[in-house]
Amino acid sequence: MSALPDPLAETLTRLDARIAEAGADRGRLLGVAALAERTALGEDEVRALLDGGAPEADRVDDRVRRRVRAVHEAYVARSGKRAGEVGREVAERLSISPEWARQLLLGRKMPNVPDLTELAEFFGIEEGVRFFTDPAATVLNRELGRVLAGLEEDTDVDGPLVEFATRHGVVTLALRGQRLTRRKQEALAVMLEGLLGIDDEEAR
């Protein structure tokens, strides 16, 4: 019997079946680093869960503080902003002092529920507070469910667009019934990569 909670074990079973059916590369489609960033979990934690290991026991307070820090670090890296600038923006958003905001973002202080709600909105986290509070297996299962949904809708599980979507955390790619050849998928993926690159440069 799997050491994983039933929902995650089921999702992984379905993912593995879909990947095996297509002869795809599991390590590429379920990249640990990308999943860790999108879930705010540690890479070792994600790797262990993907391999069927039991989730580590942890306290909710520790979980929340660790994930707030991870989300903050990812946001700083992605936006190109300085940590101090983000701290000031968060302080203004939460109506707290810049120092208290810094302590929250570094994971040294535990935010209350209203502040955690505001942080979720600030960082654009659609799941809200539960993104920070749910157990690791639940958070990962939610993300893998999105990956699975995308794969089950796409006949070319190992195609360039699926690889692009998985790498960038895109939930769906709506082609409105169109079936693109692999060459066209590659061209579209290159174009989308270029557009993202332009956005990253403008953000700096």
Q: Give residue-wise pLDDT tens across range 151-188.
A: 776 545 445 556 666 666 554 455 444 445 555 556 66
Q: Where in the chain is the domain with CATH 1.10.260?
A: 60-122
Residue 196: predicted pLDDT = 66
Amino acid identity, position 203: A
Q: Give residue-wise pLDDT tens across range 12-40.
A: 999 999 888 878 788 888 899 999 999 99
Residue 42: predicted pLDDT = 93
CATH class of 60-122: mainly alpha
Burial zone of 106 (CB within 10 Å; 0-12 exposed, 13-18 middle, 19+ buried): middle
Q: Give residue-wise pLDDT tens across range 79-127.
A: 999 999 999 999 999 999 999 999 999 999 999 999 999 999 999 999 9
